Amino acid sequence: MTATSPAPAGTAAARDDDTAVRVRGLVKRYGDRTVVADLDLEVRRGEVFALLGPNGAGKTTTVEILEGVRRRDGGDVSVLGQDPARAGRAWRDRTGVVGQSTGGGNALTVRETLEHFARYHATPVPTGELLDDVGLTGAARTRVDRLSGGQRRRLEVALGVQGRPELLFLDEPTTGMDPVARRSFWTLVEGLRDRGTTVLLTTHYLDEAAHLATRVGVITAGRLVDVAPPDELGAELRRVATVRWLEGGEPREVTTPEPAALLRDLVAASPTGEVPGLTVTRPGLEDVYLRMVATPEGQDR
């Protein structure tokens, strides 16, 4: 996709290091309530980074600060080498934003909408090419208010990448989509990633993060509690395995960080060397995530 090709060598962007987003000690308060608390974060160029967390955890507030649409109360933030709070038009042309919802333009067709917003960009992607890239060529003459949820989301992504951004923010992009539309949207994001666009994604869907993200960060109560590739998230929690078997016809279960030792003991104690009903399971991404975001009753934000 031409829309997402990285800046050419010799530009200011190309001279930056491999970090697209760098955050240190980010703080955001609303009155006496702290919604982002001393948060550190780095997003590498060219990766899809997913922020996971329950409602009210601080995901959207953090992303809005990175987008430059919300002021912070503390900390240092660098996005594409600049502070979003002071960045100008040239910086904004290097970023794309797809929020949780958009409004306006419902009476226009898809093509008319894209051609209208193309005027705001110095070098917009040609409308026909953009329609093809996001899979909306067949809906080009359809009014926006007649689009399905999945089609509308594709249009919003088209608007987000129309100016050829280096960094794309996607805030819960597939909320409300049916499974088929979600899978189709994933393919679209994969295409953006493959063409060099850095993507910062917030989502409630663990399968979405596991499928798309290079790395995942879990945020809860305004703090980032872990960052890792999806299959390595919560490494310490994943070390613990649950061993189940039948003993005298009765189910037994033991949770242990050393299942191999327990299995050796069970096999040695069996006259036949067989252990009825034996299974060994380790926590999956969902199990790890739920443990990470668990908070004491009354402390959830």
pLDDT tens digits, 80-134? 999 999 998 889 889 999 876 655 568 899 999 999 999 988 889 899 999 988 8
State the DSSP H helix or E strand holding residue 251, giving kind and residue range, or none if neither. Answer: strand 250-256
Taking residues 212-233, what's their average pLDDT? 92
**Model confidence at 285, in pLDDT bands (50, 70, 90)?**
confident
Residue 296 lies in a domain: no
Query: Does residue 122 sit in the same domain as residue 213?
Result: yes
Cα 154 from Cα 148, distance rounded (Å) = 10
Residue 286 lies in a domain: no
CB 223 within 8 A of CB 240: no
Query: Does residue 222 sit in the same domain as residue 272?
Result: no
Query: Does residue 52 sit in the same domain as residue 184?
Result: yes
CA 222 to each of CA 37, 64, 156, 161, 271: distance values in angstroms, whole numbers, following the listed order: 5, 14, 28, 29, 54
**How many residues would you count in the chain?**
301
* Tally of CB atoms within 10 A around 160: 23
Residue 234 lies in a domain: no
Residue 58 lies in a domain: yes
Query: Does residue 192 sit in the same domain as residue 119?
Result: yes
Query: Which position has the higher pLDDT, 263 or 104?
Result: 263
Percent of the chain with pLDDT over 90: 53
Q: Is the pLDDT of residue 186 over 80?
A: yes
Query: Does residue 28 sit in the same domain as residue 131?
Result: yes
Cα 272 from Cα 129, distance rounded (Å) = 67
Residue 103: per-residue pLDDT = 54
The label of the residue with tokens 């996005």 reads: 79
Residue 298 lies in a domain: no
Query: Does residue 253 sit in the same domain as residue 207?
Result: no
Q: Is the pLDDT of residue 262 over 70?
A: yes
Residue 25 lies in a domain: yes
Cα 21 from Cα 27, distance rounded (Å) = 16
Query: Does residue 107 sit in the same domain as residue 250?
Result: no
Residue 300: per-residue pLDDT = 35
Maximum mean pLDDT: which of 7-11, 23-27, 143-147, 223-227: 23-27
Residue 9: per-residue pLDDT = 39
Q: Is the pLDDT of residue 171 over 50?
A: yes
Residue 106 lies in a domain: yes
CB 228 within 8 A of CB 216: yes
**Domain boundaries, position 95:** 2-228
Residue 80: per-residue pLDDT = 96
The label of the residue with tokens 């922020």 reads: 51
Query: Does residue 44 sit in the same domain as residue 115?
Result: yes
Tokens found for residue 119: 């005027």
What mean pLDDT value characterizes the chain? Answer: 86
293: left (phi over 0), alpha (psi -120 to 50) or beta: alpha
Residue 295: per-residue pLDDT = 55
Taking residues 170-190, what's their average pLDDT? 84
Taking residues 62-74, what's their average pLDDT? 95
Cα 147 from Cα 136, distance rounded (Å) = 10
The label of the residue with tokens 């660098």 reads: 78
Tokens found for residue 286: 């969902």
Cα 179 from Cα 168, distance rounded (Å) = 23
Percent of the chain with pLDDT over 70: 90
Residue 210: per-residue pLDDT = 92
Beta bridge partners of 21: 43, 79
Residue 297 lies in a domain: no
Residue 301 is classified by DSSP as -
Cα 166 from Cα 95, distance rounded (Å) = 6
Q: Is the pLDDT of residue 252 over 90?
A: yes
DSSP 21-76: EEEEEEEEEETTEEEEEEEEEEEETT-EEEEE--TTSSHHHHHHHHHTSS--SEEE
Query: Does residue 135 sit in the same domain as residue 259?
Result: no
| C-alpha torsion angle, residues 174, 176, 181, 187 (rounded to 10) | 10
Q: Is the pLDDT of residue 177 over 80?
A: no
Query: Does residue 145 sit in the same domain as residue 194?
Result: yes
Q: Is the pLDDT of residue 156 over 60?
A: yes
Q: Is the pLDDT of residue 182 over 90?
A: no
Angle at 9 (CA atoms; ends 4, 15), nearest 5 degrees: 100
- 71: domain CATH number is 3.40.50.300
Residue 6: per-residue pLDDT = 45
Residue 105: per-residue pLDDT = 65
Q: How many domains does the chain have?
A: 2
Cα 272 from Cα 260, distance rounded (Å) = 19
Residue 212: per-residue pLDDT = 95
Q: Determine how β-strand 241-247 pairs with β-strand 279-281.
A: antiparallel
Query: Which position has the higher pLDDT, 27 or 13?
Result: 27
Taking residues 162-168, what's their average pLDDT? 91
Query: Does residue 192 sit in the same domain as residue 269?
Result: no
**Model confidence at 234, in pLDDT bands (50, 70, 90)?**
confident
CB 153 within 8 A of CB 173: yes
Query: Does residue 113 sit in the same domain as residue 262?
Result: no
